[in-house]
Amino acid sequence: MTMVAPLLKGLDLSPGQLAELRAIDALYYSRLESDSESPGKSSPVLANLVLVRVRDMLHDDQRALFDRNRDGARIGRYP
């Protein structure tokens, strides 16, 4: 997933996490195309959902690096 690739820099994902990332990617693109108001254009809500889902699948030590990468990239917000 291009959107979160910079945030995952330096992280070694397990096979299960890679599968989850592919599922999140599929969710993103299916919702992106099904948006009747602006198909093909990402909304802040959708982008935030992706960030939250990716962050939630990470282990605590991975989240710390993800958060540092996110702060450096200034991409999206999440709780």
- Residue that has been written with the tokens 């605590």 in this structure: 60
- Domain assignment of residue 78, yes or no: no
- Domain assignment of residue 56, yes or no: yes
Residue 72's pLDDT is what? 80
Domain span at residue 40? 14-73
- Domain assignment of residue 42, yes or no: yes
Question: Which residues in 27-49 are b (16+ Cβ under 10 Å) and which e?
Answer: ebeeebeeeeeeeeeeeeebbeb
* pLDDT tens per residue, range 26-47: 988 888 888 766 666 677 888 8
d(CA 10, CA 32) in angstroms, rounded, equals 28
- Domain assignment of residue 61, yes or no: yes
- Domain assignment of residue 23, yes or no: yes
50 and 3 in contact (C-beta within 8 Å)? yes
69 and 6 in contact (C-beta within 8 Å)? yes
- Domain assignment of residue 40, yes or no: yes
- Domain assignment of residue 55, yes or no: yes
Residue 79's pLDDT is what? 43
Domain tally, the chain: 1
Q: Which residue has the higher pLDDT, 59 or 35?
A: 59
- Domain assignment of residue 41, yes or no: yes
Global model pTM greater than 0.85: no
